[in-house]
Amino acid sequence: MKRKSNKEILVKVLQHIGRYKIFLFCSIVLAAISVILTLYIPILTGQAVDCILGPNAVDFNGILGILKTMVIVILLTAVVQWIMNTCNNKMAYQVVRDVRDEAFKKLEILPLKYIDGHSHGDIVSRIIADVDQFSDGLLMGFTQLFTGVVTIVGTLIFMLSISVSTTIVVVILTPLSFFIAGFIAKRTFNMSKAQSEIRGEQTALIDEMIGNEKVVKAFGHEPQIMNQFDEINGRLQKASVKAIFFSSLTNPCTRFVNSLVYAGVGILGAFLAIKGRISVGQLTSFLSYANQYTKPFNEISGVVTELQTALACAGRVFEFIEEESQIPDQENAVVLDASKGHIQMKNVYFSYNEGQKLIQGFHLDVQPGQRVAIVGPTGCGKTTVINLLMRFYDVNSGSIQIDGVDIRQMTRKSLRENFGMVLQETWLKTGTIRENIVMGKPDATQDEVVAAAKAAHAHSFIKRLPMGYDTVITEDGGSLSQGQKQLLCITRVMLCLPPMLILDEATSSIDTRTEIKISQAFHTLMKGRTSFIVAHRLSTIREADIILVMKDGNIIEQGNHETLLAKENGFYAKLYQSQ
């Protein structure tokens, strides 16, 4: 995959900020104003101190003027800061919203090839965590960087305007804290690495053992595991103490440098004051600058790393958003109404990866209402046929036609609405049982739902759930058994009754007896409907009109049960005997 350069990513980010430019502009201007106002306060304080010389030597008029200015500056600063913060928030969160919406929309039009080929965890973390990181790091980091730089420059100018020599002391001593922080970070790195390695080891053990706690208990293996855990835990303790202690040295050390700067400014300033080069008030201003001056430096060094991570995150998000989408429906795409169910595959070539041939020169003609069963060993391309029929994948060459129209000339929506599909991998969404059943027919009545559930033999177990049809199931079915999930998926199709059916190992997790009952229901369902059935169990496919025996992407035998069985040494015949 092509990596974007930082510049390209920045351009992308700016494009997204585009709509909210006004916020960005305000934020920058206000940041500069707020920094300068903040830095002005110590000067004013110093001036005020200079008005307070001693008993009966206080310039009250002068002080009053200075304090009035101070109050105005303070209030102004606060208002400016608040507006700036609000601008930043609005900008950051709206950009995040936009990017997430965009990413999610992308998700729905990505070719399945991408979704099948990438780790879901990775995609999720791009849409959720990376977007957050990038808004925090990039938008906030940017303002921090900006204010940091303005603060440093401003402080330098203010300091120089008071005393050059004292400024030099500050400028020379400050990098010390950088140096120390860097030194500690380098030392800490190895210790943290050791710590996270042991932590990883421990997490792996926890994951493995608690994940299979039931087996652990069945074998009474708890004490052994406890010992193993203790040993790792002990090592982790040692490593953690070291890592945490050393990394926690950064703060005291930089504070120490700060104190040294403070002392230096104090001594030098006092001498200058004796010589009358600066006033006591100016010394006060200086001291508070000395306290502040190192802070933006420490912050900036943090911000730079944060910006780098943020850029990397932004890069990952945009990379995802810019993935190639599936080919959109043609402009003049046909809407397939209720299909007759005449399916033809003409000279179809297809493979998932270039170089790895799969389906080659595939021909098939299914008359309306016929039942097609596809059998063959694992990996022979059974599921691929379905991927092609539903247009989850497009053929490389050749064509698939329904009622004489190439499916690429139809809208995907109308094509898929004509198919009812039950897959081996059951999938349920978070929500009630009912919501899951009515997916294909949102306006179904309760009676229709129950009837469908009864037909799929799911009613009896749904009834026994705590809230019946209103039981909320968690992500991917949660506590339901594999077989129960499959029954729900079947119910889903039973409800919407599309003209064509695809059953991909639809009953693989269901016991044979229930399976027979369901297949009776399917039987009625399939009457007059063109259907495709993929199954391991030969018993389920005996009654098909066409049986396709596939091997290595090719149809090696084709016919009905009797004719295929009659073939001596036929693949199907052998398969059938072995069961």
Partner 1 sequence: MRSLLVYMKQYKKESVLAPLFKMLEASFELMVPLVMAAIIDHGISTKDTGYIFKMGGILVLLAVVGLTSSVTAQYFSARAAVGFATKLRNALFSHIQDLSYTELDTLGTSTLITRMTSDVNQLQNGVNLTLRLLLRSPFIVFGAMIMAFTVDVKAALIFVVAIPLLAIVVFGIMIVSMPLYKKVQAALDKILGRTRENLAGARVIRAFCKEESEIAGFETENEILLNTQVFVGKISAAMNPVTYIIVNIALVVLLWTGAVRVDNGIITQGAVVALVNYMSQILVELVKMANLIIQITKALACAKRIESVFDVQVSMENGSVKQIMTHNDQEGIVFDKVCLTYNGGGDESLTDINFTVKMGQTIGIIGGTGSGKTSVVNLIPRFYDATKGSVQIGRRDIKEYDIDTLRQMIGVVPQKAVLFKGTIRENLLWGNENATEEELEYALEVSQAKEFVDTKEGRLDFMVAQGGKNLSGGQKQRLTIARAIVRSPRILILDDSASALDFATDAKLRQAIKDMNKDMIVIIVSQRSSSIQHADQIIVMEDGRVAGIGTHNQLLEQNEIYQEIYYSQFPKKKEAAK
107-126 positions binding partner 1, by CB under 8 A: 107-109, 112, 115, 120, 123-124
Q: How far is the CB of 79 from partner 1 (least distance, A)?
A: 7
Could you tell me if 335 and 411 are in contact, meaning their C-beta atoms sit under 8 angstroms apart?
yes
The answer to whether residues 44 and 73 touch, using CB atoms and an 8 Å cutoff, is yes
Give Cα separations from 140 to 11, 24, 92, 438 (angstroms): 17, 11, 8, 45
Tokens for 309, please give them: 């991570």
Give yes or no for residue 70 binding partner 1 (CB under 8 A).
Answer: yes
Is residue 213 a contact residue for partner 1 (CB under 8 A)? yes
> Does position 94 bind partner 1 by CB under 8 A?
yes
Q: Give the residue, chosen from 259, 330, 520, 563, that forms a contact with partner 1 under the rule CB under 8 A.
A: 259
User: In the complex, what is the shortest distance from the CB of residue 363 to partner 1, in angstroms, rounded to a whole number?
Assistant: 25
Identity of the residue, 511 or 568, whose beta carbon is nearer to partner 1 in the bound complex: 511
Q: What is the dihedral of CA 443, 414, 364, 504, to 10 degrees?
A: -40
Backbone φ and ψ of 110, nearest 5°? -70, 145
Pick one of 13, 17, 51, 310: the residue that binds partner 1 (CB under 8 A): 51
Q: Which residues, 6 or more positions from 92, have their beta carbon under 8 angstroms from its beta carbon?
A: 135, 136, 139, 140
Is 164 a binder of partner 1 (CB under 8 A)? no
Q: At which residue do the structure tokens 């430096």 appear? A: 297
Rounded CA separation 111/394 (Å): 9
Q: Is the Cβ of residue 11 or residue 270 nearer to partner 1 in the bound state?
A: 270
Residue entry with tokens 């002005």? 40
3-state secondary structure of 100: helix
Q: How far is the CB of 150 from partner 1 (least distance, A)?
A: 16
Nearer to partner 1, 247 or 401 (CB): 247
Torsion, Cα 572 574 577 579, to 10 degrees, reads -70
Nearest to 462 by CA among 474, 449, 475: 449
C-beta of 160 vs 516, nearer to partner 1: 516
Burial class (CB in 10 A: 0-12, 13-18, 19+), 211: exposed
Q: Which of 146, 178, 229, 349 binds partner 1 (CB under 8 A)?
A: 229
In the shown chain, the binding pattern of residues 186 to 205 toward partner 1, with x for contact by CB under 8 A and - for none, equals: -------------x--xxx-
Residue 79 interacts with partner 1 (CB under 8 A): yes or no: yes
Q: Which stretch binds partner 1 (CB under 8 A): 146-154, 163-171, 213-221, 546-554?
A: 213-221
> How long a stretch of residues is the chain?
579
- Nearest approach, Cβ of residue 157 and partner 1 (Å): 21
Token couple for 497: 């009754």
Of the candidate spans 146-154, 170-178, 234-242, 556-564, the one that interacts with partner 1 by CB under 8 A turns out to be 234-242
C-alpha separations of 466 from 461, 473, 479 in Å = 10, 11, 12
> Which 386-445 positions form the footprint of partner 1 (CB under 8 A)?
390, 392, 412-413, 416-417, 419, 421, 423, 427-430, 439-440
Tell me the number of residues near partner 1 by CB under 8 A.
138
**From candidates 182, 211, 328, 377, binder to partner 1 by CB under 8 A:** 211
Which residue from 11, 78, 172, 472 is in contact with partner 1, where contact means CB under 8 A? 78
